[in-house]
A and B are shown apart, each in its own frame.
Chain A
């Protein structure tokens, strides 16, 4: 389940863009394995092979340029109609526990970890532990409870999570937690995220509605300035 010391992060970059994001954040994560996925979005109208014929070498050069200077474990270049499907497939193939998306950060000192107390909790904590053990960041665990409800459940969740991380070997000084009672976790996370360099989020199984009009998760990721590390929800 948790695989301490074996954290592999998938970093997808859109290689159809001429200007690729600097991946400085990778240099601040410590000793984690990084799989760099260069994906080239192909519109429905074009055969992927057609786009590869014409842009394959440019894309490969761009990917190499991004990878240069960072310790990446593997590089993959894929021409795809469906970015999400490709990320899923490659993450499976390379046994990635988490996917790094969005945002920019020049350093990674403070990590925000919003928790919802659901089934994905074990995996999120495993990844956070791996991350903290590999680098020297501090982490804030966060939970949001609806107004007018008993906050003890949230407190219990957060304190339990801190204890688990300490069990994994993380120094208690590097951990704190925070409970919000506004009832709107989405806004809270985005607001609070401004103060952090990296946000760790759990992947959620998208409903049919989310598949069509975009899910909560992706709207949080879009609104965040900091990069987000999405912990995958797969066995």
Chain B
């Protein structure tokens, strides 16, 4: 017994997810931004927080459905990359990464402010920036060397921090001077919306739950529950904090404070309150910044996994097993962003808005992705949390609209920075990702609005000598039908046994033979660049077993080999083949490979339901060697001139080709005028490499009818032969 691959432990429970989400959200956002918010929206900034919370809630709803459908690392980036393809994946991936760095820098400057401000002689930007850098360095060090799960410690610190804010709010409600809340919205609706863009950063964090989705226990329950609940609770908390802050201190003086919450607390909680708030602010900044670094490394990991960025970042440290390169890169850029604070007075608002911008763009695309997933319904997407009507499509639509409204009200400089990051993502895709990424997204399927069913061709393989040729033909068939679904091959080998039972062990050499065959099939398919699945079946009746596979796979076509002889032991083509030809409910191509090259096919096209199928099959087979097939029709001279017969023949062929949906440049037409159709076909086919002939429609009885022409062709044609029967 071997433990190949290894399991991945999911270690984060509900409480851990809540502290991760809530702890990241309750960061510098609520300790620093009330001042800036009050300055630009007055007491109505509480409304800004409510709007931002609502926008976040919409995103949390859409993300919940996506995350329960695909609970693996990467969050928004991953869903967008899958739904909309590599271009948008690159935009969101880079956006999230830079957004997390902006946020991290923002938290660390907030950290510096709260440490410096209460100490009179340590005033000044230099100290704030310096302390932020020291804090960041400490965090980077810890994260570089790695920490083991210390959720209990986290729970306690985040719990303490939350308790302090709750006391602040609960006591503060009694000290609100309603006079301070008048006028409620001194800067009007514009001010409220503009402020929403700044404070939106306070809600970054619920998303981190989706980013670490691969580590959450019972993801289908805990992810939606913790994301939605944490957003709702935190929104309520923020609105109350804002009401208390603007209610206790006039918003004009609140706006001048770099540490507004502490200034409010001193009014009714005294110096002890200030100490508690400073403590909470520092814990908040550190935990938020830490989670952001953690989330950033998950995003980079997911991008590297999908080939959107180089895998270089994803090499873990040889001793500490941390993604040290990703952490160092994240830390380096974050440090630079903090240093910008030396020069730029409004760095706090700028960082907050830039991070908000990135995530608002990401969330709009997440909403679009949800719609794409719903429409395309890819295999394996089966979210346990699905938005009920009318939440769907209301949530994604409202989400996109509101995100854009908030973005549109942001400061010009932020829009420029944000657009530059989006532009960088686009350039990155064009220069690096394109050509490397396999993910094409589901957009096309979504627009067509039907589930993507692959065009599936089943190939029974038994003989190593012929399987290469069969697989080539099948691959060509599947690829030629790419407009009907992504091409997929299924190679099946049936090993016959007298009395199959699940307990019976296959004799070793037969099992080996089966495995070798299917492994070879894989190699062939890999060389031809088609998707191949293999199925190994043990059954008493080979024909029935193949039929069963055809049904299970909902096959569109089966390409089956046959030895080119007729009428033996009371069967037409052979026991198994007869069963398939008689009963398969899909197109059947019965192939006898008498020659290596498929080359130029010729198809005998007669009027009737089989004509179009045969014509199409010839075009499919022609794709193997890139030739143009000839569609042949034989007319008996009968009445009228040869040219009349020629015209009649052409008409038959073009009708059939049109029904099959072929373009006139996909085939050549040839009409032979002869009494003896059989002879004419055999003679004409000397110039071709592969002959396609139709079998009569589905037989009613046990007997498979075929005409003298077919018999003659089977007997006399020296080249490859395919007998075609439509579904």
Binding site for B on A (CB under 8 A): 16, 38, 40-56, 59-60, 63-64, 74-83, 85-86, 89, 208, 211-212
Bound complex: CA A163 to CA B320 (Å): 50
Bound complex: CA A76 to CA B6 (Å): 7
Q: Which residues of B contact A46 (CB under 8 A)?
A: 146, 297, 301, 316, 321-323
Cβ of B388 < 8 Å from any Cβ of A?
Answer: no
Bound complex: CA A23 to CA B723 (Å): 65
Cβ of B327 < 8 Å from any Cβ of A?
Answer: yes
Closest Cβ neighbor of A89 among chain B residues = B9
As a 0/1 sequence over residues 211 to 228 of chain B, the CB contacts with chain A under 8 angstroms (1 = contact) are 010110000000000000
Bound complex: CA A121 to CA B293 (Å): 47
Closest Cβ neighbor of A84 among chain B residues = B149
Binding site for A on B (CB under 8 A): 1-9, 11, 72-73, 143, 146-153, 156, 212, 214-215, 293-294, 297-298, 301, 305, 314-316, 320-323, 327
Q: Is there an interface contact between B9 and A81, defined as CB atoms closer than 8 Å? A: yes
Contact of B215 among A43, A48, A59 (CB under 8 A): A48
Closest Cβ neighbor of A48 among chain B residues = B8
Bound complex: CA A154 to CA B295 (Å): 54
Q: Is there an interface contact between B323 and A45, defined as CB atoms closer than 8 Å? A: yes
Q: Is there an interface contact between A77 and B6, defined as CB atoms closer than 8 Å? A: yes
Bound complex: CA A63 to CA B3 (Å): 8
Closest Cβ neighbor of B8 among chain A residues = A48
A54-B316 CB under 8 A given contacts A76-B7, A81-B9: yes
Q: Which residues of B contact A79 (CB under 8 A)?
A: 6-9
Contact of B3 among A16, A38, A83 (CB under 8 A): A38
Q: Which residues of A contact B72 (CB under 8 A)?
A: 49
A43-B320 CB under 8 A given contacts A48-B215, A82-B148, A212-B153: yes
Q: Is there an interface contact between B73 and A49, defined as CB atoms closer than 8 Å? A: yes
**Chain B min CB distance to A141 (Å):** 34
Bound complex: CA A41 to CA B322 (Å): 11
Top 3 A-B residue pairs of the complex, sorted by shortest distance between their CB atoms: A43-B146, A80-B9, A77-B3
Closest Cβ neighbor of B319 among chain A residues = A16
Bound complex: CA A167 to CA B32 (Å): 70
Closest Cβ neighbor of B302 among chain A residues = A47
Q: Is there an interface contact between B9 and A82, defined as CB atoms closer than 8 Å? A: yes
Bound complex: CA A38 to CA B1 (Å): 13
Q: Which residues of A contact B11 (CB under 8 A)?
A: 80-82, 85
Contact of A52 among B5, B148, B150, B294 (CB under 8 A): B5
Q: Which residues of B contact A45 (CB under 8 A)?
A: 143, 146-147, 293-294, 297, 322-323, 327
Q: Is there an interface contact between A44 and B294, defined as CB atoms closer than 8 Å? A: yes
Q: Is there an interface contact between B316 and A81, defined as CB atoms closer than 8 Å? A: no
**Chain A min CB distance to B117 (Å):** 31
Bound complex: CA A16 to CA B418 (Å): 42
Closest Cβ neighbor of B73 among chain A residues = A47
Q: Which residues of A contact B314 (CB under 8 A)?
A: 50, 53
Closest Cβ neighbor of B323 among chain A residues = A46
Q: Is there an interface contact between A44 and B147, defined as CB atoms closer than 8 Å? A: yes
Closest Cβ neighbor of B144 among chain A residues = A45
Q: Which residues of A contact B323 (CB under 8 A)?
A: 45-47, 50
A82-B2 CB under 8 A given contacts A46-B321, A46-B322: no
Q: Which residues of A contact B152 (CB under 8 A)?
A: 208, 211-212
Contact of A49 among B151, B156, B214 (CB under 8 A): B214
Q: Is there an interface contact between B3 and A76, defined as CB atoms closer than 8 Å? A: yes
Bound complex: CA A85 to CA B150 (Å): 12
**Chain A min CB distance to B497 (Å):** 31
Q: Is there an interface contact between B301 and A50, defined as CB atoms closer than 8 Å? A: yes
Bound complex: CA A47 to CA B314 (Å): 10
**Chain A min CB distance to B179 (Å):** 46
**Chain A min CB distance to B317 (Å):** 9
Bound complex: CA A44 to CA B323 (Å): 10
Q: Is there an interface contact between B322 and A85, defined as CB atoms closer than 8 Å? A: no
